[in-house]
Amino acid sequence: MGFIVKPPVYPPTKAPVKPPVSPPTKPPVTPPVYPPKFNRSLVAVRGTVYCKSCKYAAFNTLLGAKPIEGATVKLVCKSKKNITSETTTDKNGYFLLLAPKTVTNFGFRGCRVYLVKSKDYKCSKVSKLFGGDVGAELKPERRPGKGTVVVNTLTYGLFNVGPFAFNPTCPK
């Protein structure tokens, strides 16, 4: 007769304790990207004024045109009351018109720039080029770093118009 060997009986053991499972880590949340802050600033408008050549006076072109010194341009802003400002061009036909301090870049859409008069009596009829006769809309300067100008420690947002032109009195 043979012996039956029973396997040894050990006292029950506890299952190994596993550390608690932490939830998977989420990737960091990036904050939403907002457009750059649009700070309120005063308004400055720049442009040039020319006298068209007799050869191309009937066309909307500046071929052969020469800059006019002393031409007057006017800014008109319509709000609760009409706000106006005027300036004249330099020897290169360039002007920089600083709007009154009551006009900011938040309300520039109500503003237009008009050609008023020319110092040269032979070239004094306002042309339709770029809205000088009916008022040109202000266009914000979009080039990075070029959108502001500082005058007397005040920062102005820069806007463009034109170029404007006067039609000459030409011999027939």
Nearest to 73 by CA among 120, 112, 42: 112
pLDDT at 18: 72
List all residues 6 or more positions away from 77 whose beta carbon is below 8 Å from its beta carbon.
83, 84, 99, 103, 107, 108, 110, 111, 112
Structure token digits, residue 89: 């061009």
Inter-residue contact 83 to 101 (CB < 8 Å): no
Model confidence pLDDT, tens digit, residues 58-93: 888 888 889 999 999 999 888 767 778 899 999 999
The whole-number average pLDDT for the span 9-35 is 69
pLDDT at residue 15 tops 70: no
Task: Please give the Cα distance from 73 to 79 (Å, whole number).
Answer: 20
Strand partners, 151: 154
How much is the pTM? 0.71
pLDDT at residue 95 tops 90: yes
Task: Please give the Cα distance from 147 to 38 (Å, whole number).
Answer: 12
Give the domain ranges of the chain.
48-167
Model confidence pLDDT, tens digit, residues 105-147: 777 778 899 999 998 888 888 888 888 888 888 888 877 767 7
Weakest mean pLDDT among 14-18, 68-72, 100-104: 14-18
